[in-house]
Amino acid sequence: MTDATTTADPDLARDIDACCRLSGEFTLRSGQVSSEYFDKYLFESDPHLLARVARQMVDLVPQDTDLLGGLELGGIPIVTALSSLTGHRALFVRKHAKDYGTCKLAEGPDVAGRRVTLVEDVITTGGAVRDATRALREAGAVVELVVCAIDRSPAGENPLADVGLEVRPVLTKAQLDAARG
């Protein structure tokens, strides 16, 4: 797991935190209850913040990446912006394969034999990324890395080690906490 202590844009953590951190009682996808929530749709719907996050992700994407796989729903705007910056084709990875038409889990080019770098918005326990990794590997993809906008997992822990994924975040929870001053 990469735990960068600085970003190329020192104001990004402050701006994301100010825009997205909500206080209250929230149930996370994992079922955990949290007193704070990072509403990533608030930065993803802001074209300037989304572009800044995508620019920070560019250097996190391995050179040997064939495809960028954005996870439904929050990873889709990020992967679209990142794809336009890197020139890598994008996949749109559903939570479940659709049951009509092509019945695909991943919309876009065929993944068999291709190196797919996953793109996610927020990772806490990695449940959605874990599910997508397993499904893409079953389809023949090589999946070894995920880049994310925010890594909320405990510092120094890789919640996706059990599926052999490296996590490369733009921002960690510690960086967001530090931005609050």
> Mean pLDDT per segment of 10 residues, for the chain of length 181 residues?
47 94 89 89 97 97 98 97 98 89 89 98 93 96 97 92 97 90 68
Q: Other C-beta atoms within 10 Å of 22: how many?
A: 12
Whole-angstrom Cα Rg for the chain: 16
In order, the DSSP letters of 31-68 are: S-EEEEEE-HHHHHTSHHHHHHHHHHHHTTS-TT--EE
Q: Which of 2, 52, 45 is nearest to 20 (CA)?
A: 45
Q: How far apart are CA 82 and CA 55, in angstroms?
A: 7
Residue 9 is predicted with a pLDDT of: 64
Q: What is the pTM of this model?
A: 0.91
Residue 142 is predicted with a pLDDT of: 98
Cis ω before 160 (30° cut-off from 0): no
Domain definitions of the chain by residue range: 12-179
Residue 51 is predicted with a pLDDT of: 97
Residue 97 is predicted with a pLDDT of: 82
Residue 29 is predicted with a pLDDT of: 77
Q: Does domain 12-179 have CATH number 3.40.50.2020?
A: yes
